[in-house]
């Protein structure tokens, strides 16, 4: 018996399991970006409080810190491993590829997590209890540790898009994988957004301050900080899109921007207007508005952006060598990895997947539809919902009112031929293609 390393499938109806990862990921991004941005803001405020002898700023920091602990270090620290959890359920070979390339990078990031978590509690609970110079050093260390966690994760996320050059495929070295051509633009893009988020969260605390002058001063300063962050985001984004692989650029330019471009412009305008309002009329930023705007910016700013980035990665899920449906698409000599595509074309998914029940390994007229459904799940469900009219990319809707023969032709001449650059060009044996087509014909 010959197998390939496919895992059992977890499929969440209507939205697909991969989107569960997107939801957890977006929550995590909002919380974690806030935490790093806030760490930088902390260092800035502590520096100012110490140099200008402004004890009132420490009260602000304490309030901000408590909010940060609850918001970022509860939600952020749980959803961080949460991304791993949902990714392992939805994309086991994708996350496995990242782990087996970058385990030491993640272990290094873990060291900084430890420093960060102990740091945030020490930082908050020692305000007013230790000398200010030592507290200032603590805030510097906390900010550096937080930014370092960004440094360490950014290359891994960038690798998910692509390693940038051919080097890693040949050497297998994690540093060639980590430092791709879009790692640095991606890093600055994230730093910029973190700074924006630290201001957006900061408004919630500054707007609740009773002392009017301090409230105005801090709101204005946060607005300026937010604008600097926003400008960094804009410039880095322009740099970032220049470093995308061709298929991602094509998808971004021809499909995603045409569809979502105006929405993105509106989002940026809303954030810019909000920051301008905070600077020009700081008293107008009350706590209710600040909370509402945080949620609005969090939802409309993070979710569509992450959705776009996830889409641009298609048909790959990691390093442009593993397809979203977990099949290995190309050789990676540096890691002794071999493409599985020729084997799949010859023997089919049902024979090679270890978790297929024995009675489905050979297709018969009696089990054709059952086999077709399982093939659809294995080959398509990472990107497509399998229910007609479902929320995310419903597969049956792609074949409206078509009969088996027409669907089979499309599967062979369009999908398997690689005409659509964002769909894995998977060639299947004829009986599996027929079974898939037959099942799809019953669904549309």
Partner 1 sequence: MDIGLVLNTLRDPAGVPFYPIVFQALYILTWALHIAFVLLALGSIPLALIGSAQKAVDENWKKLSTHMTQVAKISVSLLIVLGVAPLLFTQVIYDANWYVTNTISGLWVVAFIYILILAYSLWYWFYYANRNNSPIAGIIGIVSFVAFIGAGVLMHAFANESIQPEQWMNWYAPNGVVDTSGTVLHIDILRLAFMVSLSAPVTGIFLLNYVDYTSKCDGYTAEYLAFVKNLGKKVAIVGLLISAVLFAAWVLTLNMLFNPLVLAIVLFVLILLFMVIKESNSYITTLVLVVTALLISTLREVIRMNIMSKYGYSIYDYPMNIDWPTVIMFLSTFVCVGFTGVGFMLTLAWRAGRTKGLYTADGTVTKLANATVGITIIWALVFLAWGLVVVFKNTL
Q: Which of residues 9-28 bind partner 1 (CB under 8 A)?
A: 9-12, 17, 20, 24
Q: Does residue number 80 form part of the binding site for partner 1 (CB under 8 A)?
A: yes
Q: Is 188 in the site for partner 1 (CB under 8 A)?
A: no
Instruction: Sketch the per residue contact string, 295 through 314, with partner 1: x for CB under 8 A, - otherwise.
Output: --------------------
**What phi and psi, each to the nearest 5 degrees, are found at residue 324?**
-55, -30
3-state DSSP assignment of residue 294: helix
Q: Are strands 316-318 and 322-323 parallel, antiparallel or unpaired?
A: antiparallel
Contact between residue 386 and residue 11 where contact means Cβ atoms under 8 Å apart: yes
Q: 299 or 355: whose CB is closer to partner 1?
A: 355
- Phi, psi torsion values for 317, nearest 5 degrees: -115, -20
208 binds partner 1 (CB under 8 A): no
Q: Which stretch binds partner 1 (CB under 8 A): 143-151, 278-286, 390-398, 432-440?
A: 143-151
Q: Residues touching partner 1: how many (CB under 8 A)?
A: 103
Q: Which is nearer to partner 1, 172 or 425 (CB)?
A: 172
Q: Which range, of 70-78, 225-233, 268-276, 390-398, touches partner 1 by CB under 8 A?
A: 70-78
165 touches partner 1 by CB under 8 A: yes
Nearest C-alpha neighbor of 83 from the set 72, 74, 91: 91
Please identify, among the stretches 174-182, 204-212, 261-269, 403-411, the one whose residues bind partner 1 according to the rule CB under 8 A. Answer: 174-182
177 within 8 A of 103, measured Cβ to Cβ = no
Helices (H), 162-182: 167-171, 174-178
Coil/strand/helix, residue 444: coil
> Does 35 help bind partner 1 (rule: CB under 8 A)?
no
| One residue of 55, 210, 213, 336 binding partner 1 per CB under 8 A | 336
- Start-to-end C-alpha separation, the chain: 36
**Of residues 167, 272, 289, 369, which one binds partner 1 by CB under 8 A?**
167
Alpha-carbon distances, residue 271 vs 231, 298, 313, 409 (angstroms): 11, 11, 27, 48
Stretch that binds partner 1, among 46-54, 73-81, 264-272, 409-417 (CB under 8 A): 73-81
Phi-psi region of 401 (alpha: psi -120 to 50; beta: other; left: phi over 0): left
Burial of 207 (0-12, 13-18, 19+ CB in 10 A): buried
Q: Is 366 in the site for partner 1 (CB under 8 A)?
A: no
- Should residue 230 be labelled a site residue for partner 1 when binding is judged by CB under 8 A? no
Site residues for partner 1, 380-409, by CB under 8 A, read none
62 vs 126: CA distance, rounded Å: 10
Residues 257-296 that bind partner 1 (CB under 8 A): none
H or E, element range at 318: strand 316-318
Q: Which of 3, 253, 261, 286 binds partner 1 (CB under 8 A)?
A: 3
Closest CA to 201 of 55, 80, 41, 74: 41
Number of other CB atoms surrounding residue 18 within 10 Å: 25
User: Taking the CA of residue 221 as centre, how many other CA atoms within 13 Å lie in the half-sphere pointing to its CB?
Assistant: 14
Any contact of residue 162 with partner 1 (CB under 8 A)? no
Q: Which is nearer to partner 1, 190 or 215 (CB)?
A: 190
- Residue 381 CB, shortest distance to partner 1, in Å, is 8
Neighbour tally for 264: CB within 10 Å: 17
Would you say 79 or 219 has its CB closer to partner 1?
A: 79
- Cβ neighbour number for residue 86 with a 10 Å cutoff: 24
> Contact with partner 1 (CB under 8 A): which of 18, 317, 374, 441?
374
Choose the stretch contacting partner 1; rule: CB under 8 A; options: 56-64, 132-140, 253-261, 304-312: 132-140
Binding segment toward partner 1, per CB under 8 A, in 126-134, 211-219, 276-284, 302-310? 126-134
Which is closer to partner 1, CB of 213 or CB of 336? Answer: 336
List residues bridging with 332 in a β-sheet: 337
- Name residues contacting partner 1, limited to 91-120 (CB under 8 A): 92-93, 95-97, 99-108, 110-115, 117-119
């Amino acid at each position: 018996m010959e197998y390939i390393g496919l895992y059992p499938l977890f499929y969440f109806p209507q939205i697909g399991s991969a989107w569960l990862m997107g939801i957890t990921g977006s929550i995590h991004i909002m919380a974690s970006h806030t935490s790093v941005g806030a760490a930088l803001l902390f260092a800035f405020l502590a520096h100012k409080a110490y140099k200008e002898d402004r004890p009132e700023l420490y009260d602000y920091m304490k309030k901000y810190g408590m909010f940060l602990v609850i918001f970022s270090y509860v939600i952020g620290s749980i959803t961080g491993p949460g991304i791993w959890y949902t990714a392992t359920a939805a994309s086991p070979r994708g996350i496995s590829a990242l782990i087996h390339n970058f385990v030491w990078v993640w272990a290094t990031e873990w060291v900084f997590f430890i420093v960060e978590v102990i740091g945030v509690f020490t930082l908050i609970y020692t305000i007013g209890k230790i000398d200010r110079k030592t507290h200032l050093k603590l805030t510097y260390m906390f900010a550096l540790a937080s930014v370092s966690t960004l440094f360490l994760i950014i290359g891994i996320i960038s690798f998910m898009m692509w390693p940038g050059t051919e080097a890693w495929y040949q050497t297998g070295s994690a540093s060639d994988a980590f430092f791709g051509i879009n790692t640095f633009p991606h890093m600055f893009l994230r730093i910029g957004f973190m700074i924006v988020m630290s201001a957006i969260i900061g408004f919630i605390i500054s707007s609740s301050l009773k002392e009017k002058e301090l409230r105005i001063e801090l709101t204005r300063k946060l607005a300026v900080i937010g604008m600097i962050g926003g400008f960094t985001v804009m410039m880095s984004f322009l740099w970032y899109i220049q470093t995308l692989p061709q298929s991602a650029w094509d998808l971004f330019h021809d499909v995603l921007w045409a569809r979502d471009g105006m929405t993105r412009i509106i989002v940026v305008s809303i954030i810019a207007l909000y920051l301008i309002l905070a600077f020009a009329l700081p008293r107008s930023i009350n706590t209710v508005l600040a909370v509402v705007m945080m949620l609005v910016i969090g939802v409309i700013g993070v979710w569509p952006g992450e959705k776009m980035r996830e889409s641009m990665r298609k048909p790959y899920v990691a390093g442009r060598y593993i397809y979203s449906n977990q099949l290995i698409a190309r050789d990676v000599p540096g890691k002794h990895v071999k493409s599985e595509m020729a084997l799949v074309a010859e023997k089919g998914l049902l024979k090679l997947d270890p978790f297929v029940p024995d009675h489905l390994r050979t297709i018969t007229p009696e089990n054709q539809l059952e086999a077709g459904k399982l093939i659809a799940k294995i080959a398509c469900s990472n990107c497509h919902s399998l229910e007609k009219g479902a929320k995310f990319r419903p597969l049956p809707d792609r074949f409206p009112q078509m009969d088996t023969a027409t669907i089979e032709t499309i599967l062979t001449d369009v999908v398997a031929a690689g005409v659509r650059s964002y769909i894995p060009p998977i060639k299947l044996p004829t009986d599996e293609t027929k079974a898939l087509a037959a099942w799809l014909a019953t669904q549309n």
